[in-house]
Amino acid sequence: MKQALRSSLSSILYQGTRLFGLTETGTRILSYHRVNNESGDYLSVPVEPFRAEMQFLAEAGYQTVGLGELLQGAVGPRNVLITFDDGFRDNYENAFPILKEFSFTATIFCIGNRVDHPGYLHKADILEMHREGMEFGSHTLSHPRLSTLGMGRKWWEILGSKRFLEELLRFKIDTFCYPFGDYDEESERMVRRAGYRAACSNQPGSNQGKTNPYLLKRTEISGFDTLEDFKKKMAGAFDLLHQGLHWARGRA
């Protein structure tokens, strides 16, 4: 019932954008977590549907950009930024070969304390992917809800993860992603002060030139999305629905 209502509402919004000639003018950042056939949950996109989504982007003329390019003005309806949260190993095993197949790049936000742990990316995986053009950012050291932490612990998670990853990987880490999309004003200030150039939130929508670089908007892609859902998300048809959910959960 809930899925049917979601699909119906998004279809109405999608047809409205086409009927009234409303087009995307910003850059959409896609938010993934896992790509595998085993998990079967909301955060895990199966392998062939992921390939189909990438094929759609390629055939529709989309080009992937990095966060650095976005900050330099690479904002446009045919630019897309692909991100993965947490740094699961299936990003290397399953997503990476498909991204290379379509000459796409992505940004992976790693949880510092989980690198080299079972189920997560190994240092060697990260270095190989980085050599092939993939970007890496920080997702804190232990993936807490930042707004619930005291100042000292919050700073340790934000700055500590940057220093840890830079020491381990020997390349610069200058982008950040808020775990659970959870942040407060103090978290945002600390991310700026720690030396990051940009940070991703879970707020829905596309990014225009005026978007706060420390609260970049993203479009969440789930394991339950059909290819038609994906196309509608790329057109912005789910943005209002997602904004409503964020409001209901107190994230607006």
* Low-confidence residues of the chain: pLDDT under 50: 1-2, 4-15, 18-22, 244, 246-252
The total number of residues written for the chain in this structure: 252
Q: Is the pTM here over 0.85, yes or no?
A: yes
CA torsion through residues 228, 230, 231, 237, sign: positive
Q: Which amino acid is it at 64?
A: T
26-245 adopts what CATH topology? TIM Barrel (3.20.20)
The pLDDT value recorded for residue 47 is: 98
pLDDT of 116 reads 98
Give the Cα separation of 243 and 223 in Å (integer): 20
CA distance 151 to 85: 24
pLDDT, tens only, 43-56: 999 999 999 999 99
- Residue boundaries of the structural domains of the chain: 26-245
pLDDT of res. 165: 98
pLDDT one-digit tens code per residue, 114-158: 999 999 999 999 999 999 999 999 999 999 999 999 999 999 999
Distance from C-alpha of 3 to C-alpha of 125, rounded to nearest angstrom: 37
